[in-house]
Amino acid sequence: IMTPKEAVENGALALFGEKYGDTVRAIKFGDSIELCGGIHAGATGEMGLFVIVSESAVAAGIRRVEALTGAAARQYLHDKVATLDAIREELKNVKDPLGGIRNLKEENTQLKKQIEEMIREKAGSAKGEWLQRAEDKGDYKLIVERTALGAGAVKDILFQLKNEAGPLAAVIGVEDEGKAQIAVAFSDELAKEKGWHAGNMVRELAKEISGGGGGQPFFATAGGKDPSGLDAALQKARTLLNS
């Protein structure tokens, strides 16, 4: 037993990342001298139950092993068993909880695939319906719609329409989980010809939904906390585009 300074001067290495007090215990194994970072016991029998709880790299070729002994080890194992019992209960007392969890994960993956397919089908239907209801403004088509589709699906549809529908201006209001979103898209040439900027327009529309946003001249989005303002925002979009 010595001070940390004396131990280091004698060549001891502190490998455990611990904070030491006024005195430390130095242990020598052959040519290696290290500061003790663990349990002090005269014999292993004094420790009783011994459970390794973690193992990690401290430096190249050096591992740190953390363990519990005695009452702490028993409590650790008790908690592990209690957790396993709770998992069995949650899984309706299956004999193989690990297999039950794997089955749930597989089922979750399949359900996600089904949901994604349904979203794609719904987005495809919406795209056709929006295009069918598009207003003919002579030199371009105008789409102003409100939808419950997610923002990601709306963005995909608008980029498809930009590439497929010719000169186009589109403003879509989205209500999703109690929040509002607005997407504005212009065909590139139409935006240049009319002097329109989607980012500027969406910032103005966002005022109606208590939000903010921005983006590029040809595509921009905004989000807000007041979906009740979506109808007013869409009406404002019509006014701005017709002015």
Q: What is the mean pLDDT of residues 148-167?
A: 86
Query: Has residue 152 got a pLDDT over 80?
Result: yes
Beta-strand ranges (E) seen in 60-207 are 62-69, 135-136, 141-147, 168-176, 179-186
Is the torsion defined by CA of 143, 148, 203, 152 positive or negative?
A: negative
pLDDT class of 8 with cuts at 50, 70, 90? confident
Range of the domain at 206: 132-242
Considering 59-68, 93-102, 108-117, the range whose residues carry the highest mean pLDDT is 108-117
Q: What is the pLDDT of residue 14?
A: 63
Please determine, for residue 2, whether its predicted confidence score (pLDDT) is greater than 80. Answer: no
Mean pLDDT of 109-122: 87
**Domain-embedded: residue 211:** yes
In order, the DSSP letters of 44-96 are GGGT-SEEEEEEEEEETTEEEEEEEEHHHHHHHHHHHHHHHHHHHHHTTS-S-
Residue 103 lies in a domain: no
DSSP letter at 218 equals S
Q: Report yes or no on 222 lying in a domain.
A: yes
Q: Kindly state the percentage of the chain with pLDDT values over 90.
A: 33
| 184 within domain boundaries | yes
When pLDDT is cut at 50, 70 and 90, the band that residue 37 belongs to is: low
In a domain, 237, yes or no: yes
| Maximum average pLDDT range among 84-93, 94-103, 145-154, 206-215 | 206-215
On whether residue 101 sits in a domain, the answer given is no
**What mean pLDDT, rounded, does the chain reach?**
86
Confidence (pLDDT) at 17: 60
Give burial (CB, 10 Å; 0-12/13-18/19+) of 93. exposed
* pLDDT average, residue stretch 44-54: 87
Structure tokens at 234: 């869409």
As a whole number of angstroms, the distance between CA 208 and CA 2 comes to: 72
pLDDT of amino acid 18: 63
Long-range contacts of 184-193 (CB under 8 A, 24+ apart): 184/215, 184/219, 184/220, 184/221, 184/237, 185/158, 185/159, 185/161, 185/218, 185/219, 186/162, 186/217, 186/218, 186/219, 187/140, 187/162, 187/218, 188/162, 188/218, 190/139, 190/140, 191/217, 191/218
* Residue 191 in domain: yes
CATH number at residue 200: 3.10.310.40
